[in-house]
Amino acid sequence: MTAHGATGGETSAAIRDRVLARNEMRSLRIPMAIMIALALGAPFVVYPVFLMKMLCWALFACAFNLLIGYVGLLSFGHALFFGGAGYLAAHAAKVWGLPFELAVLTGTATAALLGLAVGWLAIRRQGIYFAMITLALAQMFYFFCLRAPFTGGEDGIQAVPRGKLLGLLSLESDLTMYFVVLAIFLFGFFFIFRVVHSPFGQVLKAVRENEPRAVSLGYKSDQYKLIAFVLSAALAGLAGGTKSIVFHLASLTDVHWGTSGEVILMVLLGGLGTVFGPIVGALVIVCVESYLAQLGGWVTVVQGALFVVCVLSFRRGIIGELSRVLHRPL
Amino acid sequence: MITFLGVPIQALFSQLLVGLINGSFYALLSLGLAIIFGLLNVINFCHGAMYMLGALLAWLMLEHLGIGYWPALIISPMMVGLFGMVIERTMIKRIAGLDPLYGLLLTFGLALIIQGVARNYFGVSGEPYEIPPQLTGGKNLGFMFLPNYRAWVVLVSVLICALTWFVTERTRLGSYLRAATENPLLVQAFGINVPQLITVTYGLGVGLAALAGVMAAPIYRVNPLMGADLIIVVFAVVVIGGMGSILGSIVTGFGLGVVEGLTKVYYPEASNTVVFVIMAIVLLVKPAGLFGRTT
Amino acid sequence: MRIASRLLALACLLPLAAMAEEKVVKIGVLNDMSGLYADLSGSGSVEAAKMAAEEFGNKVAGMPIQIVGADHQNKPDIGSGIATKWYDVDGVDAIVDVPNSGVALAVAKITADKNKVFIDSGAATSDLTGKACTPNTVHWTYDTWSLANGTGKAVVKAGGDTWFFLTADYAFGKALERDTRAVVEANGGKVLGSVLHPLNTADFSSFLLQAQASKAKIIGLANAGGDTINSIKSAAEFGIVQGGQKLAGLLVFITDIHALGLKTANGLQLTSAFYWDRDDKTRAWSKKFAARMNGRMPSMVQAGVYAGVLHYLKAVQALKSDQDGKAVVAKMKALPTDDPAFGKGTIRADGRKIHPMYLYEVKKPAESKGPWDYYKLVREIPASEAFRPLDQGECPLVAAKK
C-alpha cells in the first residue's frame, strides 16, 4: 500500500511524508506523556465515575475524528454504532453471561458489522448527502431499538453486571474499573494514531484532498473510505460497549441523533483532524454538561451556541488554535 | 362491504385522504428545503425550528395580542422570513465559500438554540390553538367524516406548491434563481444582485416552513419540539425526491404522506420507519433521487 | 501561563471525590424539570417536599433537613448518574419522585445497593412493587395496575362494555393495554380491537378512524404524555365524542387537562389518586401549594411527594437516625400514614402505599367554575380493591416471608 513510483521503489515524496510522520510522532511524545500522567493520577482527586464517562466519550470522539478529520466524511449517525454496541455488550453481559472482555468485544464486532452495512449504503454519495443518509439510517435504527424487545425500549437494559476481567479481576470497584477503561481508551487512541500515520492513512489523506487524482493513480477510493468507516464504527462501538457495562445501563439516549450531534460538537470544538482535539473537546463538553445539568434545559442552548461560534469563527477548535500558536502539530 | 387486502375499501379511502393531508406538510417543508439547498447549497437543519417558530408566533399573537388565525397566516411567515434573512446575512453568508458541511453544522446549532430557548420559556407540553371558527366542523363524505380544516390544509398546500413551481419554472424571477444556482458569477455580471437574491430566497424558504407551522398549529400541538423529529423525515423526502428538485420534493412529499397512510392501515408499527426504508431503496437503485440529476 | 489558568478553571468544574459530612438529613427530588413531565412534577415536587420539611420545622431528630433537586431529563443514564453521585459524593439519604419508569427502576436498584431510601411518586410501572421490589423502595401515589383496574373496571360497570385500544408502541403502552384488557374482560366487557401507534405521534387521525370504524363504545388510550394529549385533540376534531363513543384515558394528569382545555377534553374518564378539590383537607393543603406555585394546583404526583417525604421524616424521627435505609423503610411500613393529601393509609410489605383511588370524569366548560375546576367524581374505589393483591406481584420480599 505504499506509494510506488515508476521504478518500483518508494518515491521521494513518500519518503518525505514518512519522515514527516515520524517527526510528528516524536514531537507529540511530550503532550502524550502529560496526558498519560494526568490520566494515571486523576482518579485519586476526581470522582472516578465521572472520569470514566469522559474517557468513553473521548474514545468515541477520537473514533469520529478518524472519519471526519482524516477522511473528510461527516457522519451524522454515529450514535448508531455507539448505542448499538452498547445494547449488544449489555445484553451479552447480562443475558448471555459473558465476561467483561468478551461482552465488550461483542459490542465492538456488532458496531463493525453495522458500520459495514451503513457504510456500503452511504458511501455511494458524498458530502452532505452522505451526512443525511447516515442521519436517516441512524433514525431508522433508533425506531428499531425503541420497539425491539431485547433493548428494553424506554427503560433500556438495566442492572448490567460488570463481572470480572479475564475471570480474575473483579470490576465492582470504581478505581479498578477506571484503570481498565483507561487501558481500553489508550489502546483505541494509539490504534487510531497508528492507522493515521501509516501508508493506509496516507492514502486516506490523498483521497480526502483530491479524490479524482487518487482514483487516477489507481487507488479504489471507495474501498479505502469503507474500511476507514468500518474502523471508525468499530472503535465507536468499543467506546459504547465499555460505557454501557461501566454504567450498568444501555439506554435509548445512546442511539438518539442528539448523541450523534454531541460527538460532532466535541470534535469540532476540540479541533478537526488534530490528535488531541477530540479528547479536549470531550473533556470540555462533558464538564460543561455536568455543570449545566442543574440548569436543565439550557444545555441544548449552550451546545447550539458552541456550534454556531465554532463554525463561524473558531473552526480550528481549541487544539487547532493551540497548535497554530505553538507552531507544532497537536 | 368490499375489502382490499383485508381492509374495507371505505376505511382505505379515508386513510389515503388522511395520508394526503400529512403529505401536504411534508411537501411544503421539503419545498422550502429544496429551494434553499438549490440556491445556497446549504442543508438548512433549522428548517424544523422555523416551522415551530411559525406555529409559536401564531400562538403568541393569539395569546397576547389577540391576533387570530387569518392575519397570523400572513404575519407569522413574514416575521420568520425576516428573521431568516437576518440569519442569512449575518451568519450563513460568512461561511458561503466553505465546505457545505459547515452550513449543516451551523444551522444545526441554530436549531438547537431556537428549540432550547423556546423549550425553556414555553415548556414541552405544548399550547392549545383553536381551529378558526370559519373552518370548524366537517362534511360527512359517506366513507368518513372529513373535518373542514383538513380539507383546507390540502387546498392551501397544493396551491402554494403549484405557485412556487410556477414562479421558479415559468417566471423571470425564477429563471434568475435557476441561473444563479448554476453560475452565480455570470449572473452577477449581468447586473443582478445575487447576494441579495440569495438572502431573499432563504427568507422565502423559511417563510414557507413558518406557513406550514401556522397551518399545523390547530391540528398538531404547538410545542417547541414539533419540528425536531419532523426535520429528519423531511431530509429523507428531499433525498428521495432528488436534492434541489422542486418538483421532486412536491411529488415525494405528497406521495410519502399517502404511503405512510397506507402503512398505518396494514402495518402501523412501521409507519415512522417506512420513509427511511424507501430512502434506502431509492439510494440503491437511483442514487440521485427520483427526480434528481446526477452531477 | 494562560493555559495553566484555563486548566485550573476547567478543573473547578470537576466533581471531587471527597465525601460530604453526615449530620444532615438530605433528600433529593429527582424528576423531569424541563421535559414532558415538568408540569406534573418538576419544581412543584421540590416545593411539595419543602412543605413537608417545613411541617417539621426543617429539623428532624436534631438534624437539619436539606432538600435538593435535579433534572433527569427522562433519560435512565442521566438519572442513574445523578443518583449514584448523590449517594456517593453528596451525602443524599433519600431520593423521591422520579417520574419515568425506566429511570425509577434504575434508581431503585442503585438505592438498594447503597442501602438508602427511594420513595417513588411519579413512575407508573407496577414492577417497582413486583418483580423489581426491594426493601429500600416505597411506591406511593399510583401504578399501572391501579389505573387499569380503576378505569377499566369502573368504566365497564358504568356501561362501557366494548373497547378499542389506541396503544403506544413501547413497553409501557403495551403493559397498560395488557393490564386494562385483562380487567375489562374479567368484568364482562369485550375488546373489539386495538392498534399500535409509534411513540410521539403528532397526528392520530388514521388511528382514530380505525377506532371509529370498530364502533366500540369506549376508546381506551393506552399511552401517556404528549401522545394522550394529541389523541384527545384529534378525537375532538374528528367528532368522536359527538359520534357517541367515549374516550378513556388510562394515564392522564390534571396538567394534561389544563393543557387541553375543557372544550376539547370534556367527557374523558380517568383514574386519579388525588384531586385538589376532593375534600376540605385537600383543598386547604392545595391552596397553600398554589400560593407557592403561581396559582397552579398540585398534581397527584406532587401530592405524593409531599405525603411521602412527610412519612419518611416521621420514620426518621421515630428511629432517631437516617443511616440505615432498610430500617427506615421498615419503620415506614410499620407506622400507619396520615396526611391531608391522601388521608389515612398504610404501606404494604412489598413497598406499595395503599389508599383509595378515584374515577373522575372531565367536566363540560359550562359546569366548571374556574381554572383547575375540571373533575367530577364518578366513583370511589376503596383502598382494599384499588391495588394489585399482595400475592400476585411476584415480589421476592413477599415470597420470602411465606
- Which of B276, B277, B293 is best to mutate for the A interface (most A CBs within 10 A)? B276
Q: Which amino acid is at A14?
A: A
Say which of A121, A127, A304 has its CB closest to residue B100. A127
Contact B11 C210 (CB under 8 A): yes
Contact A121 B101 (CB under 8 A): no
Range with the largest mean pLDDT of B205-209, B229-233, C150-154: B205-209
In a domain, residue C321? The reply is yes
Find the residue in B nearest to A302 (Cα): B113
Residues C239 and C379 both lie in one domain: yes
With a cut of 90, say whether residue A47 has pLDDT above it: no
**Is some CB atom of chain C closer than 8 A to the CB atom of A290?**
yes
Q: What pLDDT shows up at residue C21?
A: 47
Q: What pLDDT shows up at residue A1?
A: 40
**Is some CB atom of chain A closer than 8 A to the CB atom of C32?**
no
Q: What pLDDT shows up at residue B143?
A: 67
Would you state the cell numbers that stand for residue A253, as one nine-digit string?
A: 439516549
CATH number, residue C252: 3.40.50.2300
Confidence label for B4 from pLDDT (cuts 50, 70 and 90): low
User: CATH classification of B3-124+134-285, choosing from 1.10.3470, 2.60.40, 1.10.10, 3.40.50?
Assistant: 1.10.3470
Residues C134 and C195 both lie in one domain: no
Q: φ, ψ for residue C343 (rounded to 5)?
A: 75, -150
- Which of C1, C6, C12, C13 is best to mutate for the A interface (most A CBs within 10 A)? C13
With a cut of 70, say whether residue A146 has pLDDT above it: yes
Give ∠ CA A182-A184-A186 in degrees, rounded to 5.
70
**Is some CB atom of chain C closer than 8 A to the CB atom of B149?**
yes
Q: What pLDDT shows up at residue B97?
A: 77
Q: What pLDDT shows up at residue C150?
A: 86
- pLDDT, mean of residues A69-94: 93
Residues C106 and C151 both lie in one domain: no
**Is some CB atom of chain A closer than 8 A to the CB atom of C16?**
yes
**Min CA distance, C281 vs chain B (Å)?**
29
C-alpha radius of gyration, chain B, whole number? 19
**Min CA distance, A89 vs chain B (Å)?**
25
Q: What residues of A are in contact with residue C105 (Cβ under 8 Å)?
A: 155, 158
- pLDDT, mean of residues C83-94: 92
Q: What residues of A are in contact with residue C73 (Cβ under 8 Å)?
A: 296
Domain of C292 in residue numbering reads as 23-142+279-354
Contact A48 C17 (CB under 8 A): yes
- pLDDT, mean of residues C129-136: 90
With a cut of 50, say whether residue C185 has pLDDT above it: yes
Q: What pLDDT shows up at residue C402?
A: 46
Q: What are the tens digits of pLDDT across the range B109-145? A: 999 999 989 887 876 666 777 778 887 777 777 666 7
Q: What pLDDT shows up at residue A3?
A: 46
Q: Which helix (H) or strand (E) holds A53?
A: helix A48-65
Q: What pLDDT shows up at residue A263?
A: 94
Q: What pLDDT shows up at residue C363?
A: 92
pLDDT above 90 coverage of chain C, percent:
44
SS in 3 state form for B218-256?
CCCCECCCCCCCHHHHHHHHHHHHCCCCHHHHHHHHHHH
A residues 168-197 lying closer than 8 A (beta carbon) to C:
none
Q: What pLDDT shows up at residue A2?
A: 44
Residues C161 and C181 both lie in one domain: yes
With a cut of 60, say whether residue B295 has pLDDT above it: no
- pLDDT, mean of residues A145-167: 83
Q: What pLDDT shows up at residue C1?
A: 42
In a domain, residue C126? The reply is yes
Q: What residues of B are in contact with residue A128 (Cβ under 8 Å)?
A: 43, 100-101, 104
**Is some CB atom of chain B closer than 8 A to the CB atom of C202?**
yes
Residues C56 and C83 both lie in one domain: yes
Alpha-carbon distance of C240 to B23, in angstroms, equals 23
In a domain, residue C327? The reply is yes
pLDDT above 70 coverage of chain A, percent:
92
Confidence label for B3 from pLDDT (cuts 50, 70 and 90): low
Q: What are the tens digits of pLDDT across the range C265-277? A: 888 889 999 999 9
In a domain, residue C111? The reply is yes
Residues C305 and C173 both lie in one domain: no
Beta-sheet pairing, C162-168 with C190-197: parallel
- pLDDT, mean of residues A248-261: 91
**Is some CB atom of chain B closer than 8 A to the CB atom of C300?**
no
Say which of A147, A296, A307 has its CB closest to residue B108. A307
Helix orientation angle between A127-147 and B100-122, rounded to the nearest 10 degrees:
40
With a cut of 80, say whether residue A158 has pLDDT above it: yes
Alpha-carbon distance of C151 to C183, in angstroms, equals 9
- Which of B223, B264, B276 is best to mutate for the C interface (most C CBs within 10 A)? B264
- Which of B101, B119, B230, B286 is best to mutate for the A interface (most A CBs within 10 A)? B101
Closest of B122, B125, B124 to residue B64, by C-alpha: B122
Closest of C202, C167, A257 to residue B257, by C-alpha: C202
Q: What are the tens digits of pLDDT across the range B178-189? A: 888 778 788 888
Contact A307 B272 (CB under 8 A): no
Residues C307 and C350 both lie in one domain: yes
- pLDDT, mean of residues A8-33: 70
Residue with the larger pLDDT of the pair A125 and C379: C379
Q: Which residues of A199-217 are buried (b: 16+ CB within 10 A; e: fewer)?
A: ebbbbbbbbbeebeebeee
Q: What pLDDT shows up at residue A314?
A: 85
Residue with cell 449488544: A88
The model carries a pTM of: 0.84
3-state secondary structure of C271: strand
3-state secondary structure of C288: helix
Confidence label for A164 from pLDDT (cuts 50, 70 and 90): confident
Confidence label for C179 from pLDDT (cuts 50, 70 and 90): confident
Contact B145 C243 (CB under 8 A): yes
- pLDDT, mean of residues B229-237: 86
Residues C53 and C170 both lie in one domain: no
Alpha-carbon distance of B138 to C238, in angstroms, equals 8
Say which of B112, B272, B273 has its CB closest to residue A307. B112
Alpha-carbon distance of C399 to C402, in angstroms, equals 5
Q: What residues of A are in contact with residue C81 (Cβ under 8 Å)?
A: 49, 53, 247
Q: What residues of C are in contact with residue B271 (Cβ under 8 Å)?
A: 197-198
Find the residue in A nearest to B103 (Cα): A311
Lowest mean pLDDT among A267-276, C32-41, C189-198: C32-41
Confirm if A163 and A93 have CB atoms less than 8 A apart.
yes
**Is some CB atom of chain C closer than 8 A to the CB atom of A327?**
no
Confidence label for A21 from pLDDT (cuts 50, 70 and 90): low
Q: What pLDDT shows up at residue C401?
A: 53
Q: What are the tens digits of pLDDT across the range C313-335? A: 999 999 988 889 999 999 999 99
Lowest mean pLDDT among A42-51, A125-134, A244-253, B249-258: A125-134
Q: What pLDDT shows up at residue A156?
A: 85
Residues C314 and C363 both lie in one domain: no
In a domain, residue C168? The reply is yes
Say which of A147, A251, A290 has its CB closest to residue C75. A251
Instruction: Show me where the domains of chain B are located.
Output: 3-124+134-285
Residues C367 and C345 both lie in one domain: no
Alpha-carbon distance of A73 to A234, in angstroms, equals 16
Contact A304 B120 (CB under 8 A): no
Say which of C39, C200, C261 has its CB closest to residue B128. C261
Here the ipTM equals: 0.84
- pLDDT, mean of residues B45-52: 94
Q: What are the tens digits of pLDDT across the range C336-371? A: 999 999 989 999 999 999 999 998 999 999 999 988
Q: What residues of C are in contact with residue A284 (Cβ under 8 Å)?
A: 10
What A29-34 contacts at long range (C-beta under 8 Å, 24+ apart), as own/partner pairs, is A31/A275, A31/A276, A31/A330
In a domain, residue C13? The reply is no
- pLDDT, mean of residues C154-167: 88
Residues C260 and C228 both lie in one domain: yes
Q: What are the tens digits of pLDDT across the range A84-103? A: 999 999 999 999 989 999 99
H helix and E strand count, chain C: 16, 16
Tell me how far apart the 2 most distant CA atoms of chain C are, in Å.
Answer: 79
Q: What are the tens digits of pLDDT across the range B52-107? A: 999 999 999 988 888 888 898 999 999 999 999 999 999 988 888 788 888 888 99
Contact A144 B273 (CB under 8 A): yes
- Which of B18, B20, B59, B125 is best to mutate for the C interface (most C CBs within 10 A)? B125
Q: Which amino acid is at C219?
A: I
* Mean pLDDT for all residues in chain A: 87
**Is some CB atom of chain B closer than 8 A to the CB atom of A71?**
no
Q: What are the tens digits of pLDDT across the range B189-227? A: 888 888 888 899 999 999 999 999 999 988 887 888 888
Q: What pLDDT shows up at residue C140?
A: 94
Q: What are the tens digits of pLDDT across the range C236-294? A: 877 787 778 888 889 999 988 888 888 888 888 899 999 999 999 999 999 999 999 88
**Min CA distance, A7 vs chain C (Å)?**
49
Confirm if C367 and C376 have CB atoms less than 8 A apart.
yes
The number of folded domains in chain C is 2
Q: What are the tens digits of pLDDT across the range C32-78? A: 887 778 888 988 999 999 999 999 999 888 899 999 998 888 888 88
Q: What pLDDT shows up at residue C240?
A: 83
Residue with the larger pLDDT of the pair B231 and A168: B231
Find the residue in A nearest to B124 (Cα): A297
Q: What pLDDT shows up at residue A265?
A: 92
pLDDT above 70 coverage of chain C, percent:
94
SS in 3 state form for chain B?
CCEECCEEHHHHHHHHHHHHHHHHHHHHHHHHHHHHHHHHCCCCCCHHHHHHHHHHHHHHHHHHHCCCHHHHHHHHHHHHHHHHHHHHHHCHHHHCCCCHHHHHHHHHHHHHHHHHHHHHHHCCCCECCCCCHHHCCEEECCCCEEEHHHHHHHHHHHHHHHHHHHHHHHCHHHHHHHHHHHCHHHHHHCCCCHHHHHHHHHHHHHHHHHHHHHHHCCCCCECCCCCCCHHHHHHHHHHHHCCCCHHHHHHHHHHHHHHHHHHHHHCHHHCCCHHHHHHHHHHHHCCCCCCCCCC
Burial (CB count <10 Å: 0-12, 13-18, 19+), residue B66: exposed
Between chain A and chain C, the number of residue pairs with CB atoms below 8 A apart is 100
- Which of A118, A129, A298, A315 is best to mutate for the B interface (most B CBs within 10 A)? A129
**Is some CB atom of chain C closer than 8 A to the CB atom of B261?**
yes
Confidence label for A172 from pLDDT (cuts 50, 70 and 90): confident
* Mean pLDDT for all residues in chain C: 87
Residues C230 and C378 both lie in one domain: yes
